[in-house]
Amino acid sequence: MITIQSKYAQPPQSVCEYQSTLDGRYGWFLCVAHEENDLALEEIQAEVKLEVLNARVLEISRMEIENWLKGFFADLHWKLHASLRRSELREKGLSLFFAVCYDHDIYFVQFGRIFCAATKGKKLEIVGSNWKNYHVQALRDLNLLGLSEEDIRVKPRKFHLDENESLMVLPGKIAAKVWSGSADVGSLQPLIESFNTASPALWLILRHQTSLVKARKRRLSKLEISTLILLLGTILAILYMAFGNRVLEVFLHRSHKEAAETRLRAGTEILQNIGRVVNSPARSIELTLDWNAQLPHKVTSEPVFNQQGIYLASGADLFAYRLATREQLWQKSCDAPIANILATAQGLNITLANGQTLGLDAEGNTLWSQQLQERAEHKPQLRITEITPIQDKRIDKSITVVPLQRGIAVLDSHQGTVMSELKLNQDLSFLSRYDDYNNCFYAVMGQTLVRVDLKIVN
């Protein structure tokens, strides 16, 4: 079967999505990239994914797939053309790769600066469009989806992925650095994964995995089982008649004692293992980046959130953004710099550096104001966070989240072992409290807001 060996995307600049049947025989893979990192791409990328999901690709037969690819992407080109023209993007076209897998046969289309190559033993073979000439081609010759004011060229291709071979999908800039070198085929994956900070950062590596067919265990027939029981009974009868019942009783007595001792040792080991399992919060914990958003302002306080929005302070200004889309909801200017923000069931409570405390509703309107004698102290330092089983039902024991200078680490609170560590490409300025509804944190690096997901496998 075809498996995903590695995949990576960095929304909104790039997206990598897939869907497959339960047995893994049929599936589709979607890679979309753009040269710019603009928030306007979020809506456009979402439009592409929604069109693919609504198409019910897994219900299309192998006989119809090529005609379907031509018709679907010809229509999608004009829909994206309208959306891209309304945007402020400099390059109003998308690079896209879309493949449908039937067992080990792959039908795919590619547009723009996304290219494919397959391993053939120790060699690398270009599949589809050649990446070597893309940088000298004119913009209209790149066949970007949604760019041209004419019908786009849709050319479906078919490729068979051989056993134990891989298919790599890369944007042009990464492809030029990876495939033009003399790197060994076996070391291409770690080389590709080192470009996670490239622009655009995107890759998909598929592999035809060798199927492991286990030999069926042979079962004894009823006649063979009966014969063995009769032979065993005959041997025991002969021993009993030859040596008397005392020898047999002594043997059974010793066997019982040895079995009891063995059970005691085994029980002790089982209890020790159970102790280790009970003290382990989960089998696998991983911190992953979900999305990032560039902010037009500097953040001066820890992010605060509820189920609807996320709230950021920048000096004396308070900004509210919608969590689902990261679009700005409202902005409120205060009389003094904001020291602290608290999300409550009624709205927001904020304290200002001049000692004033305000109560705001969900739209940022002031409900009440209270002047305190002392000034509010602002402590922007990063703090260690504990996540308990009450906050996250996926764990049995608590875990500790430690913010680092350029990363975040998760420790087992009971044993101190490092369960996951995420490295960031900038210094970490602020880290929010744990969002136990969405199972994530919100981190601030300079003027970038990042969502960090906490994935747990039990």
Choose the weakest-confidence range: 71-75, 114-118, 128-132, 245-249. 245-249
Do 133 and 38 fall into the same domain? yes
Q: Please tell me the pTM assigned to this model.
A: 0.48
Choose the weakest-confidence range: 50-54, 186-190, 207-211. 207-211
The confidence score (pLDDT) of residue 450 equals 93
Per residue in 330-361, pLDDT (tens digit) is: 999 998 998 888 888 778 888 888 888 888 99
The confidence score (pLDDT) of residue 263 equals 63
The confidence band for 138, taking pLDDT boundaries of 50, 70 and 90, is: confident
More confident residue, 225 or 107: 107
Do 71 and 181 fall into the same domain? yes
Angle, in degrees to the nearest 10, between helices 65-86 and 40-54: 160
Average pLDDT value for residue range 135-144:
85
Q: Which CATH number covers residue 59?
A: 3.60.40.10
Do 328 and 446 fall into the same domain? no
More confident residue, 457 or 128: 128
Choose the weakest-confidence range: 97-111, 174-188, 227-241, 259-273. 259-273
Per residue in 183-199, pLDDT (tens digit) is: 788 888 999 999 999 98
Do 318 and 183 fall into the same domain? no
Do 439 and 310 fall into the same domain? no
Of 320, 351, 371, the residue at which a domain comes to its end is 371
Of 208, 226, 247, the residue at which a domain comes to its end is 208
The confidence score (pLDDT) of residue 402 equals 86
User: Which domain range does residue 399 map to?
Assistant: 382-457
Do 367 and 400 fall into the same domain? no
Q: Are 387 and 402 in contact (CB under 8 A)?
A: no
In a domain, 292, yes or no: no
Q: Are 295 and 303 in contact (CB under 8 A)?
A: no
Do 319 and 410 fall into the same domain? no
Enumerate the β-bridge partners of residue 29: 18, 99
String of DSSP letters for 97-116: EEEEEETTEEEEEEETTEEE
In a domain, 283, yes or no: no
The confidence band for 182, taking pLDDT boundaries of 50, 70 and 90, is: confident
In a domain, 106, yes or no: yes
In a domain, 296, yes or no: no
Do 69 and 146 fall into the same domain? yes
Q: Which CATH number covers residue 305?
A: 2.40.10.480
CB within 8 A of 72, min separation 6: which ones?
A: 51, 55
Cα dist. 79→139, 149, 152 in Å? 20, 11, 12
The confidence band for 324, taking pLDDT boundaries of 50, 70 and 90, is: confident
Average pLDDT value for residue range 451-455:
92
Average pLDDT value for residue range 57-65:
93
Per residue in 411-420, pLDDT (tens digit) is: 887 787 888 9
Of 371, 401, 428, the residue at which a domain comes to its end is 371
Average pLDDT value for residue range 104-112:
95
For tokens 């590596």, what's the residue?
A: 205
The confidence score (pLDDT) of residue 195 equals 93
In a domain, 262, yes or no: no
Handedness of CA 64, 69, 74, 77 (dihedral sign): positive
Domain count, the chain: 3
Give the mean pLDDT of the chain.
85
Residue 394: pLDDT above 90?
Answer: no
Token reading at 89: 């993007």
Q: b vs e for 359-389, b when ≥16 Cβ sit within 10 Å of the residue's Cβ?
A: bbeeebeeeeeeeeeeebeeeeebeebebee
Task: Give the integer Cα–Cα distance in Å for 300 and 249.
Answer: 83
Do 354 and 408 fall into the same domain? no
Do 198 and 309 fall into the same domain? no
The confidence score (pLDDT) of residue 301 equals 86
In a domain, 258, yes or no: no
Enumerate the β-bridge partners of residue 292: 450
Specify which of 47-61, 301-315, 374-388 reaches the highest per-range mean pLDDT: 47-61
In a domain, 217, yes or no: no
Do 331 and 445 fall into the same domain? no
The confidence score (pLDDT) of residue 345 equals 76
The rounded percent of the chain whose pLDDT value lies above 70 is 86
Q: Are 171 and 204 in contact (CB under 8 A)?
A: no
Do 48 and 132 fall into the same domain? yes
In a domain, 117, yes or no: yes
